Amino acid sequence: MIFLEGLSYSYHPSPPPWVLNDIHLEVRQGEYVALFGASGSGKSTLAYVFNGLIPHFFGGKLKGRASVCGLDVAHTSPSQFLPHVGLVLQNTDAHLFSGSVRTELAFGLESLGLPPAEIQSRTLEMCRRLPLEHLLDRPPHDLSGGEKQLVAIASVLCLRPRVLILDEPFAHLDPPNRTLVRKILRDIHSAGTTLVVAEHLSDAYLQDVSRVIVLDGGSIRFDGPPDRCLAHLQAAGIVPAYPPISRPEPNPAAEILLEVLDLTCQRSGRTILEDVSFVLRRGERVAILGKNGVGKTTLVKHLSGLLKPSRGQVLCQGKPVHGLPAHRVASRIGVSFQNPNDQFFKPRVGDEVLAGVRLLASKGLAPAESWVEEVRRLFRIDPLWERSPYRLSEGEKKRVALASIAAMAPKVLIWDEPTAGQDGRFRQDLARLMGELSKRGTTTLVVTHDLEFARATCTRWLLLEDGRLTQDTSLPEEGMKKLRFSA
Amino acid sequence: MKALDPRIRLGLGLLFVATVLATHSRTVLLLEAAGLLTLIPLLGLLRPWGASLRLTLPMIAIVFLVSLLAFDLKTAVDLSVRLHNLFAASFVFFRMLTAEELAGALRAMKVPYVFVFMLTTAMRYVPLMGRKIRNIRDAQTARGIDLRFRPGNIGHFTALVIPLLFQAFILADHLALAMESRGFSRRERTETPSGRLGIRDAGAALAAALLCTLLIWWDRKGGL
């Protein structure tokens, strides 16, 4: 199905740098391949080769031989690959561009010029295979993350491709949605489709695949069965090796920094948060866990004063957060949201990190210079100082975004999904940072559905289910394993 | 209204907007305003109309003030009512026609597919960009940057505009990638068959054409 011989590729017409370097690969019909690689390892680039986007869309320099489904990649455009190879892109907001799920499913079929009756029959068949019928008339942009991924897969599967390529399908999904997508991929594979899943999350779906390929620096580091890949995944920075953390006994005498009292949020007649109460003490490392859509981000927005509670209140060192000027809240509670690109507006990393510090200085709330220096050292920002934040890797961007918040010396740091879309090397680094900040008395609250990360870094877990806090626990190691999302 | 063929709804929308643009006399403008304000609750659009006023009323107020200072009260009233009518007619038009229906109507009218796709995709991405603006505003406010609409905050808006522009470019790039990999550039695209227009469609088109002709004729006569 896929045959690569000495394949190298560079996005620049006159290399170096080579993003892919001397790749030899043969994938046979019916294989289920997991293609692993850390950020920047070249796995998305390789996925683009499989349907001809490289070289026809990106240009650049392609060396060596590549053929997919018997078609030479160098001479076959992506549109000619359409009936044979389906590619599901990582960014579902871009992949799904039609006005409704029905027209989304029909788009590729219309591109093939199929008769309207055939388009309708394939759309209905897809709805029988995947649970989509109830979504058919909804706009894709209004769907949840899991539903979007499902529709993106279906939009390609309708074309009955012989090879299905998925670029990071699990990156932004919570465990129940991961389980759903995993089951669908198993079904697709058992129907005879060749599957290639490019990922950097090593998850339970490894049990489903027949073969693992590990990319490192644009070359294949490992190609073999899943049961022998772990050491290579660790060496390539895909599986994090978390340092053991100390689990101090809860200290009821430690200073209370943040109090959430009967917090309730109602919007358009719907209760999003209901009677949520907890306190955060100095130096704690706390995880808030929960499925997509249970109100985690709404809670974060209340904690940072961005939303006004319908009932109850949030107190920071005894003072209500809502109603305080933005700079006063930021000097006490630092929030970093999921997408680092939402923050960047300066041309240099240095200016970006110091933007908040300078703002606080202009209001007479400047943090100590020694703290800013400490943050630069802890977050290893200096090598990036003169670079443009837009040109960094995803991991570096996240590091700069977190550092720019930490530099303002807030007593409480809130990180919303800090590991989403990040590789193992970054997650490991983040665990180290949490430990270091905790030692310096900073309280860290991590909102995540990355259970492994939460287990490795936090000493206290809060579980949010349907807007209610159902568990607040500092469990011993064995007890933590019992804490699971209800699917 | 929803029962009408999208092509007729598109035609009616354009006809009403054109009529508003073509009429000047105060009586006709006020009559148009009364008609539109009656139509909005009848179509169940009162709530979104109320929400849209937060954006349109300040603009109407600015036009009123500027024309009052530059001309006189009569001209200021006429221009404000006309602008209001234009907003109201466009509002009803866009609420009654989804991007999907607009695309179907334009394709049925043999408008080139590339043009239809560009237009409707731009419309579909408006809510997504709105969500991005909210996310950026939240992220920057959480950093202490005050982005409320106040004169003193004008300098802060680079913190909103620059990330938004950057993300719009990224999205455009990814969209082009997705379109290419899903066969947008293939030539043999299926033509969706368009449904036949019914008696109700023809009746609505005829009634609207008569009404608009009457309004324009009355306007040319100088109103009452």
The answer to the question of residue B194 being in a domain is no
Query: A112 — contact with chain B (CB < 8 Å)?
Result: yes
pLDDT at A326: 92
Q: Are residues B168 and B211 in the same domain?
A: no
Give the structural domain span for A161.
Answer: 2-235
Q: Flag the least confident range among A101-115, A308-322, A416-430.
A: A416-430
Sorting pLDDT into bands at 50, 70 and 90, what band is A485?
very low
Which tens digit of pLDDT belongs to each residue from A250-264? 677 788 999 999 999
Give the structural domain span for B131.
Answer: 126-181
The answer to the question of residue A298 being in a domain is yes
The answer to the question of residue A248 being in a domain is no
- Best to test chain A binding among B148, B167, B182, B192 (most A CBs inside 10 Å): B182
Q: Are residues B11 and B93 in the same domain?
A: yes
Query: A475 — contact with chain B (CB < 8 Å)?
Result: no
Q: Are residues A149 and A181 in the same domain?
A: yes
Query: A382 — contact with chain B (CB < 8 Å)?
Result: no
The answer to the question of residue B187 being in a domain is no
Q: Are residues B162 and B79 in the same domain?
A: no
pTM for the whole structure: 0.83
Using a CB-CB cut-off of 8 Å, the residues of chain B touching A139 are 124
Using a CB-CB cut-off of 8 Å, the residues of chain A touching B139 are 335-337, 339, 342-343
List the single residue in B with minimal CA-CA distance to A118: B190
The answer to the question of residue A246 being in a domain is no
Task: Tell me the percentage of chain A whose pLDDT exceeds 70.
Answer: 96
Q: Are residues B97 and B176 in the same domain?
A: no
The answer to the question of residue A320 being in a domain is yes
Which tens digit of pLDDT belongs to each residue from A71-116? 999 999 999 999 999 999 988 888 888 888 998 999 999 999 999 9
Q: Are residues B52 and B91 in the same domain?
A: yes
Q: Are residues A208 and A272 in the same domain?
A: no
Q: Are residues A351 and A423 in the same domain?
A: yes
**A107 with B99: Cβ contact below 8 A:** no
Q: Are residues B13 and B70 in the same domain?
A: yes
Q: Are residues A209 and A354 in the same domain?
A: no
Q: Does the pLDDT value for residue A156 go beyond 70?
A: yes
Q: Are residues B90 and B152 in the same domain?
A: no
Q: Flag the least confident range among A199-208, B11-20, B172-181.
A: A199-208
pLDDT at A249: 67
pLDDT at B30: 92
Which tens digit of pLDDT belongs to each residue from A325-363? 999 999 999 999 988 999 999 999 999 999 999 999 999
**B139 with A107: Cβ contact below 8 A:** no
Number of domains in chain A: 2
Nearest to A329 by CA among A437, A412, A444, A415: A412
Q: Are residues B23 and B57 in the same domain?
A: yes
The answer to the question of residue B46 being in a domain is yes
**A337 with B166: Cβ contact below 8 A:** no
Q: What is the mean pLDDT of chain B?
A: 89
What is the pairing mode between strands A2-10 and A256-267? Answer: unpaired
**A359 with B145: Cβ contact below 8 A:** yes
What single-letter DSSP state applies at residue B3? T
Q: Are residues B62 and B169 in the same domain?
A: no
Q: Are residues A229 and A289 in the same domain?
A: no
ipTM value of the model? 0.86
Query: Which of A141, A329, A342 is nearest residue B136 as measured by Cβ atoms?
Result: A342
Number of domains in chain B: 2
Q: In what order do the strands lie in the sheet with A412-416?
A: A333-336, A412-416, A443-448, A285-289, A460-465, A468-473
Using a CB-CB cut-off of 8 Å, the residues of chain A touching B189 are 110-111, 113
Q: Could you tell me if A437 and A404 are in contact, meaning their C-beta atoms sit under 8 angstroms apart?
A: no
Q: Are residues A207 and A281 in the same domain?
A: no
